[in-house]
Amino acid sequence: MNQEAKRNAQEELDGNFADRELLSKCIATADGDEARARQIYLHRRTAELTIDREDIDEREKWPMLTPLLVLYTIGTIGVLALVFIFLAGRLDWY
């Protein structure tokens, strides 16, 4: 884990700047054991602070692009079908 992120999480916890919601979840997970809850908090908060932004961009590129490509393809085929039907009606192809 990133040592700077771990240090920041430790400073948050020691300086009463901790995320209260996350800390309460950690206490509930640790069944009231404060030392264990502190370790769980440090682990989770360090993981949150070390998320690489470039990695998120790479992971999200294709899942966001795939539905758009499918919709554009269906739309293009639909427009071509409508043009074909229109021209077929005008030119008496069927």
In this structure, the answer to whether residues 87 and 43 fall within a common structural domain is no
Torsions phi, psi of 20, nearest 5? -65, -40
Residue whose pair of structure tokens reads 């966001």 in the numeric block? 64
In this structure, the answer to whether residues 35 and 81 fall within a common structural domain is no
In this structure, the answer to whether residues 59 and 26 fall within a common structural domain is no
In this structure, the answer to whether residues 35 and 75 fall within a common structural domain is no
pLDDT of residue 18: 73
Residues 15 and 59: beta-carbon distance below 8 Å: no
pLDDT in tens, 1-42: 578 878 877 787 777 767 778 778 888 888 878 888 888 888
72: domain range? 54-94
Instruction: Report if pTM > 0.85.
Output: no
pLDDT in tens, 49-67: 776 656 666 666 677 788 8
pLDDT of residue 81: 97
In this structure, the answer to whether residues 1 and 47 fall within a common structural domain is yes
Instruction: Quote the CA–CA distance of 6 and 20 in Å, as a whole number.
Output: 18
Q: Give residues with Cβ within 8 angstroms of 6, minimum separation 6.
A: 42, 46
